[in-house]
Amino acid sequence: MEFITGVKPTDTKEISDILAQETAGCVKMNGFIHTIRHMGEIAFVVLRKREGLVQCVYEEGVTEAGLKELKEGMTVEVEGILHEEERAPQGFEVRLTKIIILTSPKEGAILPLPISKWKMKTSLETKLNYRPISLRNIRERAIFKIQEGIIRGFRDFLYSQGFTEIRTPKIVAGNAEGGANVFKLEYFGSKAFLAQSPQFYKQTMVGVYDRVFEAAPVFRAEKHNTTRHLNEYTSMDFEMGYIDGFEDIMAMETQMLTFVFAFLKEQYAKELKLLEVTLPDTARIPAVRFDEAKVLVSEKYNRKIKNPYDLEPEEEVLIGKYFKEEYQSDFVFVTHYPSKKRPFYAMDDPTDPKFTLSFDLLFKGMEITTGGQRIHDYDAQVAKMMARGMNPEEFANFLMIHKHGMPPHGGLGIGLERLTMKLLDEQNVRETTMFPRDLSRLEP
């Protein structure tokens, strides 16, 4: 009988193993051949490893292997002698003594993109068509390491604040956010939808754990083909009970963002440097009422207010610009959205029910968060449904929580890909989506 125990020590090294010791002596490592640069007597064989690139030096007569046999896209295991080398990517190079080819790409295959170039200088369309390959570029893959850092920081912060992580179903019977932008599917003869948000479930789970979060895919069948819409994206949601008002939610988000950016600075410094990212300051984020924000930008930028109850994307951009210019802030909370523009579960402002106790967070002029206080009272929730022509009986499962008691609560949803996009100053949300889904793109 064979027994499996833990991971066995390996004699192949990662970059961090080498940097943690003296860079001298023999070393064994594996990796992709990222590029080969012929320099006359010698050649640089650059290996791509998960932590970065490693410069290896091939020398005829010294290295046991034929240089002609090597090609980009192979994976290899190499042996060699470590040398300090300031000009190499990691501050060291490996003078190769041996190369073993592990795997080879298809005979004659030609790379569709110059992935070993620093900047690929190709269209977004081409990058997306060849996403499995374009992500092998060092800068492209750094984008999604930073995205990993954001989601890790989000979770770690919320755990520290007493939140519980939940998993809510993506195949649902009802349509939480209203509207027609919902994907339908056949479910064993019943009609089902893909969840537009975990809204009902996260409110439900506040009744169980007081504070909950989820970071998971959501689906919107929106027919927009813009630089900021996706049909599937990652929503980072949290919801919390026993709030004194929706300001508590904005405060939690502010502190979460501060934590996330500090976490990135500490854990993802390499990627931040690689992409030349400047982390924003979130020590204090201005908050302005929706109606006041409209007036402020209308006055400063001499722009007519067309619809007092809606915010156009251009107005969002100008509000962002205004608070950057006047308060040096990349972020601004816009509060008290009109009731008409918010879903039926949003709590109206008791001092003026035309508005809600809700907010959006704009980052560099783009909405990255929608949040607010929710109705907790059964009769109030039923009344708001009725006023909107909805049938409360269809929402019996959701209303179960109001019926049996809910604390004052609220929460928010953050678009992970949009937050990443604005942090990296990208112009299209597809740049910061691993495998985007849009009107015309279902593959790869």
Question: What is the distance between the alpha carbons of residues 151 and 313, in angstroms, rounded to a whole number?
Answer: 26
Please tell me whether residue 251 binds its own copies under the rule CB under 8 A: yes
Interaction mask 106-135, its own copies, x per CB under 8 A: x--x-x------------------x-xx-x
Q: How many CB atoms lie within 10 A of CB 142?
A: 20
Cβ proximity to its own copies, 62 vs 399, nearer residue: 399
Tokens of 272: 């931040």
Task: Tell me: cis bond preceding 444? Omega within 30 of 0 counts.
Answer: yes
Among 26, 102, 383, 387, binds its own copies (CB under 8 A): 102
Interaction mask 21-40, its own copies, x per CB under 8 A: ---------x-x--------
Residues 321-340 that bind its own copies (CB under 8 A): 327, 333
Please tell me whether residue 269 binds its own copies under the rule CB under 8 A: no
Its sign, for the CA torsion 384, 390, 391, 396, is negative
Please tell me whether residue 205 binds its own copies under the rule CB under 8 A: yes
Min. distance of Cβ 433 from its own copies in angstroms?
A: 8
Please tell me whether residue 165 binds its own copies under the rule CB under 8 A: yes
Partner residues linked to 55 by β-bridges? 46, 93
Please tell me whether residue 217 binds its own copies under the rule CB under 8 A: yes
Cβ proximity to its own copies, 6 vs 25, nearer residue: 6
Among 158, 172, 334, 412, binds its own copies (CB under 8 A): 172
Min. distance of Cβ 411 from its own copies in angstroms?
A: 14
Please tell me whether residue 307 binds its own copies under the rule CB under 8 A: no
Min. distance of Cβ 441 from its own copies in angstroms?
A: 10
Q: How many amino acids of this chain bind its own copies (CB under 8 A)?
A: 119
Please tell me whether residue 279 binds its own copies under the rule CB under 8 A: no
Min. distance of Cβ 264 from its own copies in angstroms?
A: 14
Min. distance of Cβ 46 from its own copies in angstroms?
A: 14
Q: Look at strands 25-39 and 42-49 and give their pairing.
A: antiparallel
Please tell me whether residue 367 binds its own copies under the rule CB under 8 A: no
Please tell me whether residue 400 binds its own copies under the rule CB under 8 A: yes
- Decide: residue 344, CB within 10 A, 0-12 exposed, 13-18 middle, 19+ buried: middle
Q: Which residues make Cβ contacts (< 8 Å) with residue 90, sequence separation at least 6?
A: 15, 18, 19, 52, 53, 54, 55
Please tell me whether residue 208 binds its own copies under the rule CB under 8 A: yes
Question: What is the distance between the alpha carbons of residues 325 and 253, in angstroms, rounded to a whole number?
Answer: 23
Exposure class string for 109-133: b at 16+ Cβ within 10 A, else e? eeeebebbeeebebeeeebbbbbeb
Cβ proximity to its own copies, 73 vs 338, nearer residue: 73
Please tell me whether residue 306 binds its own copies under the rule CB under 8 A: no
Q: Are the C-beta atoms of residues 414 and 215 closer than 8 Å to each other? A: no
Residue of 170, 270, 256 whose CA lies nearest to 218: 170
Q: Are the C-beta atoms of residues 40 and 50 closer than 8 Å to each other? A: no
Min. distance of Cβ 128 from its own copies in angstroms?
A: 11
Q: Helices marked H in 99-232 — which ranges?
A: 124-129, 131-134, 138-160, 199-209
Among 90, 116, 197, 234, binds its own copies (CB under 8 A): 234
Among 37, 50, 270, 273, binds its own copies (CB under 8 A): 50
